[in-house]
Amino acid sequence: MLASIFSLNVIQTALELGCIYALVALALFLSYSILNIADLSTDGCFTLGCAVACQVALTGHPFLALLAAMAAGVCSGSSQLFCRRASASRASSPASSQTPASTPSTWP
C-alpha cells in the first residue's frame, strides 16, 4: 500500500518542486536583506516566466522558451521598479510632506 504512494516518481517530483521553491525563497530573502522590504513581486515574476515558458514551449520552441521566460521576468521586474520609484518620488514631493509647525502631540 505505502509502496504505491511513495513511488520514485512522486519523490522525484517533490524534490524538483522543492528545489524550484527554494530558488523563490532565496530570491525573496535576498531582496528583503538588500532592500529592507519584502518584495513579493518575485513570486509574480517567477509565475509569469513559467507561464510564458510553457506557452512558447508548447508551440515547439523549447530553447526560445527560456529566453522568452527571462525576458518576461525582466519586463515584469522593471515595471515594478518603475512603479516603486514613481510612488517614492511622489511621496517625497514638497507638497505632500508639508505639515503645520504646531502639530498637536498625543504624547504626554
Q: What is the pLDDT of residues 75-84, one digit of tens each?
A: 888 887 787 7
Q: Which residue has cell 525576458?
A: 71
Q: Which three cell numbers stand for residue 34?
A: 538588500
- Give the pLDDT confidence score for residue 57 in this predicted structure: 95
Measured distance between the N- and C-terminal CA atoms of the chain, rounded to whole angstroms: 69
Mean pLDDT of the chain: 78
| Mean pLDDT, residues 64-81 | 88
How many other C-beta atoms are found inside a 10 Å radius of the C-beta of residue 69? Answer: 22
Q: What is the pLDDT of residues 27-61, one digit of tens each?
A: 788 877 887 776 677 778 888 988 999 999 999 99
With cut-offs at 50, 70 and 90, classify the pLDDT of residue 11: confident
Alpha-carbon 16 to chain mean position? 19
